[in-house]
Amino acid sequence: MWSDASIDAGGPGARQLANTLLPHLHRACGSHLGDVHWFRADWQRGGAATGRANWKAEDGTEREVMVKFPIRARELLWMRRLQRPHGDGLPVVPNLFASGSSLESYDLAWIVIEWLPHGPLGKRWHADHVIRTAEAVTRFHQEADLFPIEAEKARREEWTELLDSARASIRRNHIDEEAHWQALLDRLSAALPDMVERWRARETDHWIHGDLHLANALSRIGAEHGEVTLIDLAEVRPGHWIEDAVYLERRLWARPERLEAARPVATIAEARRARGLPAESDYEELATVRRALMAGTAPAFMKTEGHPRHLAACRGQLEASLDRFQGA
């Protein structure tokens, strides 16, 4: 559950911004929005101000809501787009009560969304988390595909540069098993042209969530049961579903006992097929390539990837992926 912490909304800068803009927000929402209590969730990485409040509907009923601003235009766009699910049921993202791309003379996007009482799922492990999140992201893919890609292109990582940065980081930070790391990166360097060719040949004319992990998965119903609702849509972009699947999986690399009980890539593939979405027969080969590329370049991002346990897990994933790819 999101934890209240009086008024700690993204640090002093965000607090000051929130307090300055709050009267504008109340005017934008009319008489619907009650008092806002700012907080910073322990899973929050961005600088947006987040607050908890009540929303009073026209009929007098009240609902708990979350206020968030400023947000990226992309998050606002997709929060609006995904309000109308394909078929029956609630949207796979939070219900949107109010939103805008500005607050009077301030050019910033904001949203007021339903308060989700259960989660994030990443706070406490349960065997059903991956299955429920797999079903949710598959719903997300299906709903998002109703909107054309148009001119936007998939992200193109420069893997040679990232590999060079990883090598330099290993030397500079004296990462555990440094010699083993360098030997594995030599193997990755030799395989890189084939891997990159395979990766860049993937189909990328579908939308992906882009930041799929259990801290962005909550529920209206319960922490250990019920449909999952996805939040944080700022990284939605064109790509291939394997990107979401491996991104979810990598958060579990350092917990192999959890991966034994929950296989995110295979689980999402099964969920896609159940909904009539494509899941190629050779998807595991593409997943192997993605694992190798992400694991091998992890040392280049020490600020976010540098925990020793995670790096050790990346080293193991890199070795296993190279063995599979080169033995294929």
Q: What is the structure's pLDDT at 6?
A: 31
**Strand ranges (E), the chain:** 37-39, 49-56, 62-71, 96-100, 109-114, 206-208, 217-219, 228-230, 237-239
Counting every residue, how long is the chain? 328
AA letter at 292: A
Q: Which CATH number is 11-115 given? A: 3.30.200.20
Q: What is the structure's pLDDT at 105?
A: 86
Tokens 């219900």 label which residue? Answer: 95
Which residues of the chain form CATH 3.30.200.20?
11-115
Strand partners, 207: 238
Q: What is the structure's pLDDT at 47?
A: 66
Q: Between the CA atoms of 124, 219, 4 and 77, what dihedral angle is there, to the nearest 10 degrees?
A: 120
- Topology annotation, domain 122-327: Aminoglycoside 3'-phosphotransferase; Chain: A, domain 2 (3.90.1200)
Q: What is the structure's pLDDT at 41?
A: 65
Q: What is the structure's pLDDT at 67?
A: 95
Tokens 């968030």 label which residue? Answer: 68
Q: What is the structure's pLDDT at 48?
A: 79
- Per-residue confidence in pLDDT tens, the chain, 328 aa: 333 333 334 455 666 777 888 999 999 999 999 999 988 765 555 667 899 999 999 999 999 999 998 999 999 999 999 998 766 689 999 999 999 999 988 899 999 999 999 999 999 999 899 999 999 999 999 999 999 998 899 999 999 999 999 999 999 999 999 999 999 999 999 999 999 999 999 999 999 999 999 999 999 999 999 999 999 999 999 999 999 999 999 999 999 999 888 899 999 999 999 999 999 999 999 999 999 999 999 999 999 999 999 999 999 999 999 999 988 6
- This prediction has a pTM of 0.92
Which residues of the chain form CATH 3.90.1200.10?
122-327
User: What digits encode the pLDDT tens for the residues 16-32?
Assistant: 777 888 999 999 999 99
Q: What is the structure's pLDDT at 261?
A: 82
User: What digits encode the pLDDT tens for the residues 223-258?
Assistant: 999 999 999 999 999 999 999 999 999 999 999 999
String of DSSP letters for 8-64? -SSHHHHHHHHHHHHHHHHHHTTTSB---EEE--TT--S--EEEEEEEE-TTS-EEE
State whether residue 98 is helix, strand or coil: strand
